[in-house]
Structure 1
Amino acid sequence: MSKLPSLLATDVDFERTGFQTGTLRLPWSHDRSAYGHVPIPLAVLNAGAGTGPTVLLTGGNHGDEYEGPVALMKLLQRLPSMTIRGRLIVIPALNFPAFINGTRTSPIDRGNLNRLFPGARNGQPTEMIAHYVETELLPRADIVIDLHAGGASFEHAPTLLASPPADDERRALYFDLVRAFGAPNTMIMDLLGEDRTFAAAAERHGKLFLCGEFGGHAGCDAANLAIVESGLHRVMYRLGIVPEDHPAPPGDTRFLRVDGARHYVYSPLAGVFEPAFALGDCVREGQIAGRLFDPHEPWQAPREIRFRADATVMCMRTFARVEPGDCIALLAADTRAD
């Protein structure tokens, strides 16, 4: 990663006390605009140095996931009248080109921001966003909360994705924040070695990182939006940023763990998939997950796909049309919070 400063610039002064709005200017020279840039909106509310932690709040890492961006846009409406300790940096749509386009990846370069960290100073636009986050935003933050949903291709049970730190003191605070957020589910992810994510970048910088998946179908579900809004408020209260608490969640979070490749269900072939399960189902190893039909030979018997573990379905594909390697479902099994 280049040691030169990011090519992104901003008219926001992160150190200035008070409330500011502005943009990150992402350079983009193209046929219609030789000296153009993409303005990425952000806001900062800063109570002053030494008053409390800095929390970075982001949504729109993928552009077809809406509960997070809507929750953060609603928070932006309240920021000017809020009294806080510490500093809030709020970016409702981090991959703004993808968000405006309503797609998982950027229409500029097809970049999936959450698979491009640490990014590249002189790279494609999405790589440049990742580089700015890695070099400018993460060093400023103490806690990072990145809000996701399943997007167009997935429906995800409302779930906080946990990346607990190893040392005992920070781990205890981390699980305090997890319980304060109060999502119905908290899942310890296994991304099968994937280390290009925002979570991996935060871990490299030693930051506490919370992520969450709250819905899907590229919609904005009212119940999931309420979980996000109340969860954010409770976390800010637990950190001492806001003075007022929020009503406790209706129940304790359920802790689950993704256990390697056996908790992923993939399509082995192209075709049309008929699911034999629903989101939230408890399934058994060997149980039929669904049937895969070949549209080119519809007279052939469908291929049966089976689960490889006893677990709960936390995420399922919304698109019936599949290609080899498409993820059909993600499972997780109950675990303890330690």
Structure 2
Amino acid sequence: MAANPRSLIQCTVDFDAPGFQTGTLKVPYSHDRSAYGHIPIPIAVLNGAPGPTVLLTGGNHGDEFEGPIALMKLLQTLPRQAIRGRLIVIPALNFPAFLKGRRTSPIDGCNLNRIFPGKRNGTVSEMIAHYVDTELFPLADIVIDLHAGGASFNHLPMVLASLPADARRHDEYVRLIEAFGAPHTMLMDLLGEDRTYGAAVERHGKLFICGEFGGFGTCSIDGLSIVEHGLARLLHAADLIDAPDVPVSGGTRLMRVEGARHYVFAPEHGVFEPMFKLGDRVKAGQAAGRIFNPHAPWQAPRVLRFESDGMVVCIRSFTGVEPGDCIALSASDAEWA
């Protein structure tokens, strides 16, 4: 493997070679018990006839399992699959976190999805982000990153959509979203956050599809099925594969998060009692729950309220809260622009 001037990470697969290959991304990691060591992150590539390149990643957060399991199952079929184009598959991008079932890396404490574009000479997580941004995104036409709520959240199964800035690609993007066919599709507002994987993809001008398919740090059977069937339909819609033997989509319901009014945050420490369930329809001013003070349990609890009408699409798993913790996220019905 020749040295790569853009990245310190070496890749053992040839992205241009025909057929199916497996290998690793070798992330340099010199530490107390391995002076010249590296972290091998599994990667697979399938090259077929000319066509688009699709990058599929899971495990951006290590406590989200529907995506990694769906992609590992997909890898079992790829040696027998004929495709038009190229698939690049990394089931667990934040591999150190995935092995420990953690949202953040156990090595450097970084949240991989909040450090893009990363750094060539940075920490392990920063090097991974930098490699993806400089080496993989430029290769791809379509980028799909699979998430879930992780240990601290439970999420309604949904695609998180980000409409292309280029109006000419709008219809193509909507067609792919509708082909995936998640029960809900949400136009997300991350309150100005621009360090994410998705923000980096958009800076490259590529089509980006993300999704949240469960939570509680477990693998949802329903969420996994949505991911597997959705990926098959999307790859067919992108003309990489022939029509798959999966159920026809029942359609997707479009929703939108608009600003801080759709979020509920804890203003103080305490124990939170929810007064809503995932998927509930709520009204502005409706009580979202109460925060009790465990050090003065005789005090009246503080009542939190929703600031906007909508449907609850995400709910916190942990009962203990601190100031700034997100308790819930709601979304309003929307239509494609």
Aligned position for 1:108: 107
> Runs of 4 or more off by more than 6 Å in structure 1?
none
Deviations 1:179-238 (A, max 9, x none): 000000000000000000011000000000000000000111111100000000000000
Deviations 1:5-42 (A, max 9, x none): 11000110001011000000011111111111110001
Q: Is the 8 A contact 1:265 1:327 kept in 2?
A: yes
Aligned position for 1:276: 275
Question: What is the total number of aligned residue pairs between the two structures?
Answer: 334
CA distance in 2, matches of 1:10, 1:191: 32
Deviations 1:244-291 (A, max 9, x none): 234454522000000100001000001100000000000000100000
Q: Gaps spanning 5+ residues in structure 1: where?
A: none
CA distance in 2, matches of 1:245, 1:46: 19
CA distance in 1, matches of 2:244, 2:76: 19
* CA deviation after TM superposition for structure 1 residue 47, in Å: 1.0
Aligned position for 1:7: 8
* CA deviation after TM superposition for structure 1 residue 167, in Å: 2.4
CA distance in 1, matches of 2:251, 2:77: 28
SS in 2 for 1:290: strand
CA distance in 1, matches of 2:258, 2:239: 35
Letter in 2 for 1:6: S
Normalised by the length of structure 1, the TM-score is 0.97
Aligned position for 2:139: 140
Aligned position for 2:172: 173
SS in 1 for 2:299: coil
Q: Is the 8 A contact 1:234 1:246 kept in 2?
A: no
Letter in 1 for 2:256: R
CA distance in 2, matches of 1:63, 1:168: 34
Letter in 2 for 1:252: G
Q: Is the 8 A contact 2:179 2:249 kept in 1?
A: no
1:197-216, aligned counterparts within 5 Å?
Answer: 197-216=196-215
1:25-174, aligned counterparts within 5 Å?
Answer: 25-48=26-49, 51-174=50-173
Aligned position for 2:193: 194
Distance 1:248 1:169, change over 3 A: farther
Asked if residue 256 in structure 1 is aligned to residue 235 in structure 2, the reply is no
CA distance in 1, matches of 2:92, 2:113: 13
Letter in 1 for 2:121: N
Q: Is the 8 A contact 2:180 2:249 kept in 1?
A: no
SS in 1 for 2:87: strand
What is the RMSD of the two structures over their aligned residues, measured on CA atoms? Answer: 1.0
CA distance in 2, matches of 1:204, 1:167: 12
SS in 1 for 2:60: coil
Normalised by the length of structure 2, the TM-score is 0.98
* CA deviation after TM superposition for structure 1 residue 82, in Å: 0.4
